[in-house]
Amino acid sequence: MDQIADELRQAYKANKEILDHFKEDYAKKENPLFQDFVEELLFVKRNVAGVIPADQEQFNRLLDRLFQYPVTYSEYCSVLSHLPVNKFGWGLDSFAKLDLDSNGSISPKEVEAAVGQSKRKKEKFEALEKNNDGKISLAEFLHCWEHEVKAKTLPYKVMMVVTNNADLGTTGRKTGYYLPEVAHPYHVFTEAGLDVVFVSPRGGYAPMDPSSYEAYMDDLICANFIEDPEILHKLDNTLNPANIDPSSISVVFYAGGHGPMWDVAFNREIATIARQVYKHNAGIIGAVCHGTCGLLPITLKAATKPTLLENRKVTSFTNDEEEMVFNEDTWNIMNFKLETKLTEAGAEFVKGEPFACNVVNHKGIVTGQNPQSSTKCAQVIVEELAAKIANKDAFNKLL
């Protein structure tokens, strides 16, 4: 057993914070392999976040060998039944509910007992059952699940928040949303099959910061974005918050640019939608650069306290980056220091190098530091949403 445990530790480098958490919960387990088994399950959940197995064959082999030892599947089911739903994610709770005899596999009879008979479900079972042994193993279920989720169109909607403000304070200079911080996330979201709606505090026209066009006119994604008449029409006619049904939204994404600092940062209507999406829809809140100012008015209750930001790790355009852009005039131009405000609101601010990609994902809030973080920020949101869809809907989708 020690050899298998060592193999697992060497093959998979699980996230330290998560491991520390479950070690506290399972330290009393007598079975020396149980902790490694839980680590394996946590690895599966975090696979989309960049923890990659040596290869799929090794993953299946280790999992199969692990089941041959005293860490029984029934023991796992027993533990899982006392945990919050989807603690491990990736549908392991659904697998446990289907495997009625707790033998580590799902038979056609168990599928019929759980969901009834249908031609489509039978075909789906055959597609999942790769080894031609008449049953679906846990490894088969997890492996197919991952590929199914990535391949399917996600039937969920993103509310992308943009500014109505075109004035950079009292300088007489123009601002608005920053082109790559809208274009790049929009590209990632739509490529994943997500529907994107644009919302602004007042609705109607959303101005683009002219300097962002000058800086990114040669960027292919940005060029395609601003040449698309359908997209431009949407940005000329953004929705008002009153037009939004929060129950239809799974992601609220705040786009950056200096413009939001004068309107989005103080908008309670959008903040209320974001709270409903986050709390009642188990949705995701995302923001990039100055867009993180939109998190400031979000509270977890209708009252002003507690704020969403309390005890959350976030990032945004930093005070240092701000000063690099505007030099000695910075705090004569900007109406407040965003990094400072986020910290004062109770957030743990995670600062990266200036103008380098830095994305923070914590408790359903995904934030990017600057324009260079736009694509990665959106990609992490899609990965998180895929995992949520798997946890919530995979049983229905796969079987």
Query: Which residue segments constitute the domains of the chain, with CATH numbers given?
Result: 2-152 (no CATH), 157-388 (3.40.50.880)
pLDDT band for 390, please (50, 70, 90 cuts). Answer: low
Shortest CA distance to 259 belongs to which of 177, 374, 170, 171? Answer: 177
CA 177 to chain centre: 22
Q: Residue 166: pLDDT above 70?
A: yes
pLDDT band for 14, please (50, 70, 90 cuts). Answer: very low
Judge contact between 63 and 40, C-beta under 8 A.
yes
Q: Residue 224: pLDDT above 70?
A: yes
pLDDT, position 16: 39
Q: What whole-number percentage of the chain has pLDDT above 90? A: 50
Q: Count the alpha carbons within 13 Å of 294 in the hemisphere toward its beta carbon.
A: 37
Helix (H) or strand (E) holding 191: helix 179-191
Q: What's the predicted TM-score (pTM) here?
A: 0.64
End-to-end CA distance of the chain: 34
Shortest CA distance to 256 belongs to which of 321, 297, 208? Answer: 208
Q: Residue 281: pLDDT above 60?
A: yes
User: What CA–CA distance (Å, rounded) separates 367 from 386?
Assistant: 17
Mean pLDDT: which of 282-286, 295-299, 381-385 is highest?
295-299
| Identity of the amino acid at 315 | T
Query: Which residues are CB-neighbours of 1 under 8 A, at least 6 positions away?
Result: 32, 33, 69, 70
CB atoms within 10 A of CB 251: 27
User: What are the tokens at 115?
Assistant: 């969901």
Give 145-157 pLDDT, tens digit per residue: 444 444 344 457 9
* 170-to-62, 137, 264, 290 alpha-carbon distances in Å: 64, 65, 18, 18
Judge contact between 74 and 30, C-beta under 8 A.
no
